[in-house]
Amino acid sequence: MKHAFLIALLLFIPLIAQAAFVPQAPDIKASSYVLMDYASGDILAARKPNQQEAPASLTKLMTMYITFDLLQKGRLHLDDKVHISEKAWRTGIDGSASRMFVEVGDRVPVDLLIRGVIVDSGNDASIALAEHIAGSVSSFAGLMNQYAKRLGMTHSHFVNADGLPADDHYSSAEDLAHLARHLIRDFPEYYHYFSQKSFTYDNIKQYNRVHLLFTDPSVDGLKTGYTKAAGYCELVSAKRDGRRLISIVMGTPSEKYRNVANEQLLNYGFRFFETDKLLGKDKPALDVRVYKGAAEQVPLGTVKPVYLGLPHGSADKLKIVPQIDARLVAPIALGQQLGSAAIKLGDKTLRTVPLVALKAVPEGSFFHNVVDQIKLWIKG
């Protein structure tokens, strides 16, 4: 759906050009990248978004998604003590990988391990959480793949919780942007961890590797990654004037450049695109006549808001074209699907959404029903 939207958008740029001039996206030196509108999930700019990439420490975003999900469900608690195994302690002990510096036999609260994973990019903390949650890293990897399937990450496969190089361990820029969107949307109560700039454990202070947290006040997370195979990767989110964008670059040539690249993409997205809310509980598509009901009309729309990420100035050119399945006869239940609506720009359909009743309409009185039945007979 997202790719179809992007392709359609590119095909009819001349229609939009009357509303706003949109230049090409910045020339980013990366093996792949994605700029995503958070509210709609629409991709505003991309290069090879589904190309399989070594995700390096961006893998830890899935480790955090599972951790947050279990916390939210009450199956894990922030004050739970996690036993640090020798395997977790040994991960990166030779200096080949980032660490939180936990010690064998320590019992560390989940809350501190989360900070160790996000701020320190601690591979040892990631392994400790994986073992605590699933019993072993391999079992946790199986859980990661189940979650990936549920989230629609069709170009990802995980074999570990930390992202150190391994055969058959890969993801894509679009999958990871999609994962970040879910992290922000599904766990708002835990997203604050990603904005923490430093963390001290056992008298060792480390700083968040997302340097844009220190230079761009609109950026509030998420994660960086690096291995020789992956190159320098970074996934960030920023919020400006109530709009949020997600930007990810993979396989860039340097630590400094991944920050430059994401800043360029974010500036491009905020400057030349807008997020438009078209439908929702408070914005019905239309009111439709109801026969034999206690009310003569019912508002049709969508329960969840429908957003589109579009070039600035194009919202006024959008049209919502409803299609009602049949004449509506009470009773009608709240949330009952009664038709669909095509969202169009010119002659092009950007998206089609189901239309449901935003209010229930019970049956009307006997006399009212008789009158409406006569009207229906007349209309055929």
H or E, element range at 183: helix 173-186
Query: d(Cα 91, Cα 167) in Å, to the nearest integer?
Result: 17
Annotated active-site residue 317? The verdict is: no
Query: d(Cα 375, Cα 291) in Å, to the nearest integer?
Result: 9
91: its two tokens: 């991960």
Q: Which amino acid is at 214?
A: F
Query: d(Cα 355, Cα 27) in Å, to the nearest integer?
Result: 40
The predicted structure's pLDDT at residue 364: 67
């997370």: which residue's tokens?
221
Domain 2-273, architecture per CATH: 3-Layer(aba) Sandwich (3.40)
Q: Report pLDDT digits (tens) over 304-343.
A: 999 989 888 877 888 889 999 888 887 989 999 999 999 9
Q: Which of 2, 60, 223, 292 is catalytic?
A: 60
Per-residue pLDDT of the chain (380 residues; tens, 9 = 90+): 445 444 444 444 444 334 457 889 999 999 999 999 999 999 999 999 999 999 999 999 999 999 999 999 999 999 999 999 999 999 877 767 899 999 999 999 999 999 999 999 999 999 999 999 999 999 999 999 999 999 999 999 999 999 999 999 999 999 999 999 999 999 999 999 999 999 999 999 999 999 999 999 999 999 999 999 999 999 999 999 999 999 999 999 999 999 999 999 999 999 999 998 888 888 899 999 887 778 888 899 999 999 989 888 877 888 889 999 888 887 989 999 999 999 988 888 888 999 999 999 888 677 656 665 666 677 66
- For residue 264, give the nearest of 94, 10, 44, 55 by alpha carbon: 44
29: its two tokens: 């030196």
H or E, element range at 300: strand 297-301
Annotated active-site residue 57? The verdict is: yes
Query: d(Cα 174, Cα 42) in Å, to the nearest integer?
Result: 11
The predicted structure's pLDDT at residue 317: 83
Within the chain, all domains assigned CATH 3.40.710.10 are found at 2-273
Domain 280-379, architecture per CATH: Sandwich (2.60)
pTM of the model: 0.88
Q: Which of 85, 121, 156, 314 is catalytic?
A: 121
Annotated active-site residue 139? The verdict is: no
The predicted structure's pLDDT at residue 368: 58
The predicted structure's pLDDT at residue 45: 96
Over the range 89-105, which residues count as b (16 or more CB within 10 Å of their CB) and which as e?
Answer: bebbeeeebbbbbbeee
Q: Which of 31, 40, 57, 172 is catalytic?
A: 57
Q: Report pLDDT digits (tens) over 19-32.
A: 457 889 999 999 99
Within the chain, all domains assigned CATH 2.60.410.10 are found at 280-379
